[in-house]
Chain A
Amino acid sequence: MQNKFKMAFIQLTRIGDVIQTFTAARQLKNENPNVELTLIARKKFAQGLDFLLRDVFDNIVYFETKDFFTKKSLKSARIEVHNFVHDLNKYEFDIVMNLSFNKSSSYLASLIKAKHKMGLHRNNRSELAVNDKWSQFIYSNVMASTLNPFNLVDIYKHIAGAKEVDVTTYQVPKDGVITIHPFASSKKKSWGANKWNEVIYKLLKDRLDISIILVGAPNDQEKAKQIIESPMLANFGDRITNNVGENSIEDTFHDLSRSQLFIGHDSMVSHLAALFRMPSLIISLGTVRPHESSPYNDRAYTLSPRNKCFPCTVQERCDLLPCHTSVNHQVVVAAAKNLLDKGEFAWSDLSQHVTPFHVDNVSIYKSSFDEFGIKLTEVTKNNVSHKDVFRTMYRILWSYYLANVEVSIDTPEFNNDTLRILNNHLEGTNYLFELYGHGFNFCNRILDETENENPEIKEIQAGVSKVAEIDGLCNVTKRSFSQLAPLIDFFYVNRANAAGNNIIEITNNNLISFHDSSNIVAILADLIEKTIGPRIGTVNRNGPEV
């Protein structure tokens, strides 16, 4: 009998990430039932999900840092770690996939023996290595840009090798219960109690047929008290069940299983609700990147602010939280009522209940599946921003380049400001095209020299210096044409991780990278031209042809 193909998933980050990893692994298992999957995760983030994870993973290894220090000495901790790694290596994995992209996971991935390594890992000189293109995409785009067009589940899925769109569902519940999770992992990401009071009050007052379950963790109990004990809700106590801090994740999963609608922020519970594909309203604030981390659920709607500072970063201090006021509670209530009645809504449904003023500063996205995976499409009648247009173009480019999937997307409507920015970036694509062309030529020169009977080391070194110069000039281009950063950063990481044991192999791979980058930038230029073409008469066009 043939041995099973063994894959290890390393996921050391938070509960939401573990659920996203579970969703991707489930799809992989559906497509490849004979693969043996092992999850390596932290106890505090994954053990509460054990009831779900066992459906997909054949083996689960939970660990915690403190487990290594039971004897309170470094010597014994090092022995514990050694034994832990030794036990992991007994599985004899074919592939180890690190999906968590932090420092500890990169070292763990380097310690686990496997024929192939995907995601961040280290070589035996402790240098970072990202060998596969999808992981290079995460490293260059997900962690550093706001223009990533892909949901993390789809990225994980493609790293793992799953191809199909995952629409598995546990059940379709419907009985007038709304589960609300009015919390998130940081203040920036969640509304204050007052906004939630308004939403809950309006829903309970206007819809006599519904009841509400509040769910959350023990450290959310104080805020839950502020919501529940508000005088506004004094008459509705019998229709609100407060399960905050009382229930396990499995209990919350059960609460969701008997709910018709989920409302909350971008958090672990929204990812649990996605497993039921239930109608969901997600309010994404602060540091949340909706296109990247919204629940993997084609019945979800995401409301996010249109403030220029959104999304911000964890490091940025913000006391006023302007993005919190941009999303109006009236919009949330109107959208929730539509979802209760029909399970979906369009702008025409919403516009009967809210004024354009209410949606002036908010983007409302509907999630749906396309050929690649989940995508977010704006349903509001606002003109899309230049970032939305670029994100759409990058979805077309990266889907094709990284997954060989052609996605069809309509040309979005945009205003003259966006038109000017697009037109300006055409010039940037021209510079990049030239730079990558030079890079290609320098690589060829190096390879030609190495083929000489007596290669001149000086010539080879000069070529290598020129290739390094190209990277410097690409960085200058990035500063002037910021929306090209995803492309520039990806191919920089791609070349920095070029495989090879000698100058010839590495240069050959750099040559391929420059060839690919030239093609991709030419396609981007073409997309920009086609997008702005019908409207080009309305602005001055300065950009040279590509």
Chain B
Amino acid sequence: MSIQEEIHSALNDIQTKVNEGLELSENELEMLFLSSLIEEEA
């Protein structure tokens, strides 16, 4: 799996939790920080 695919998959899982209004772990917030940095670089 490429890094992009891994990121996509990780974000899908987090998005499901966000949609359900569930609390995110610190690890998940870190992943969102990382993906937003990548998004802004693009």
Residues of chain A touching chain B, judged by Cβ–Cβ distance below 8 Å, are 65, 68-69, 72-74, 77-78, 81-82, 85, 102-104, 106-108, 110-111, 122, 124-126
Q: Interface 1/0s, chain B 12-42, versus A by CB < 8 A?
A: 0010001001111011011111101111110
* Contact across chains for B34 and A102 when beta carbons are under 8 A apart: no
Residues in chain B within 8 A of chain A (CB atoms)? 3, 6-7, 10, 14, 18, 21-24, 26-27, 29-34, 36-41
Known: A68-B37, A78-B31, A104-B40. 17 other contacts (CB 8 A): A65-B37, A65-B41, A77-B34, A78-B34, A81-B31, A85-B26, A102-B36, A103-B39, A104-B36, A107-B33, A108-B33, A111-B33, A124-B23, A124-B29, A125-B18, A125-B22, A126-B32
* Cβ contact within 8 Å between B3 and A74: yes
Once the chains bind, are B33 and A104 in contact (CB under 8 Å)? yes
Nearest residue, chain A, Cβ from B31 = A78
Residues of A within 8 A of B37 (CB): 65, 68, 104
From residue B24, how far is it (CB to closest CB) to chain A in Å? 6
Return the contact of B40 from the options A74, A82, A103 (Cβ within 8 A).
A103
Q: How far, in whole Å, are A77 and B7 apart by their CA atoms in the complex?
A: 11
Distance to closest chain A CB from B8 (angstroms): 10
Known: A65-B38, A73-B3, A103-B39. A78 touches B29 (CB 8 A): no
B21 A74 Cβ-Cβ under 8 A: no
Q: Which residues of chain B are near A68, meaning CB under 8 Å?
A: 34, 37
Chain A residue nearest to B34 in the complex (CB): A81
B41 contacts across to A, CB distance below 8 A: 65
- Per the bound structure, the CA–CA distance linking A48 and B18 in Å amounts to 38
Contact in complex: B32, A74 (CB < 8 Å):
no
Q: How far is the CB of B19 from chain A (nearest CB, A)?
A: 10
Which single residue of chain B is at the shortest CB-CB distance from A72?
A: B3
Residue from the list A77, A106, A111, A125 in contact with B23, Cβ < 8 A:
A125
Question: With the chains together, A366 CA to B26 CA distance in Å?
Answer: 49
| CA gap between A104 and B6 in the complex, in Å | 19
- Per the bound structure, the CA–CA distance linking A106 and B29 in Å amounts to 10
Minimal Cβ-Cβ distance residue in A for B2: A74
Give the distance in Å from the alpha carbon of A125 to the alpha carbon of B32 in the complex.
Answer: 12
Instruction: Decide: B40 and A110 in contact? CB cutoff 8 A.
Output: no
Residue of B nearest to A77 (CB): B34
| Contact assessment for A82 and B30 in the assembled complex, using a CB-CB cutoff below 8 Å | yes
B30: chain A residues at CB < 8 Å are 78, 81-82, 85, 111
Chain B residues within 8 Å of A69, by CB:
3
| Interface residue from A74, A77, A102, A122 paired with B29 (Cβ < 8 Å) | A122
- Top 4 nearest A-B pairs (CB, nearest first) are A107-B33, A104-B36, A103-B36, A74-B6
Contact residues in A for B14 (Cβ distance below 8 Å):
126
- Identify the closest chain A residue to B41 (Cβ): A65
B-chain residues with CB within 8 Å of residue A77 when the two chains form the complex: 3, 34
Contact A125 B27 (CB under 8 A): no
A170 to chain B, nearest CB (A): 33
A228 to B37, CA, bound (A): 39
CA of A69 to CA of B7, assembled, Å: 13
Question: Cβ of B24: which chain A residues have Cβ within 8 Å of it?
Answer: 124-126
Task: Give the chain B neighbours of A82 by CB distance below 8 A.
Answer: 27, 30
Residues on A with beta carbons closer than 8 Å to the beta carbon of B21: 125
Contact assessment for A78 and B27 in the assembled complex, using a CB-CB cutoff below 8 Å: yes
Question: Across the interface, which residues of A come within 8 angstroms of B22, CB to CB?
Answer: 125
CA of A92 to CA of B27, assembled, Å: 19
A190 to B26, CA, bound (A): 43
A and B contact pairs by CB, cutoff 8 A, 18 listed = A65-B37, A65-B41, A68-B34, A73-B3, A77-B3, A81-B34, A85-B33, A102-B36, A104-B33, A104-B36, A107-B29, A107-B32, A107-B33, A108-B33, A110-B29, A124-B24, A125-B21, A126-B24
Q: How far is the CA of A143 from the CA of B39 in the complex (A)?
A: 20
Query: In the complex, what residues of A have CB within 8 A of residue B40's CB?
Result: 102-104
Considering the chains assembled together, what is the distance between the CA atoms of A78 and B30 in angstroms?
7
Instruction: Verify B39–A126 contact, CB threshold 8 A.
Output: no
Whole-angstrom distance between the alpha carbons of A74 and B30 in the complex?
A: 12
Chain B residues with CB below 8 A from A65, complex form = 37-38, 41
CA gap between A194 and B34 in the complex, in Å:
43
A77 and B26 CA atoms in complex are apart in Å by 15
Interchain nearest-CB distance for A128 vs B (Å): 12
Question: B27 to nearest A CB, angstroms?
Answer: 7
CA distance A102 to B36 in the complex (A): 9
Measured in the bound complex, the distance between the Cα atoms of B7 and A72 in whole Å is: 12
Q: How far is the CA of A85 from the CA of B32 in the complex (A)?
A: 13
Q: Bound state CA distance, A541 and B18, in angstroms? A: 52
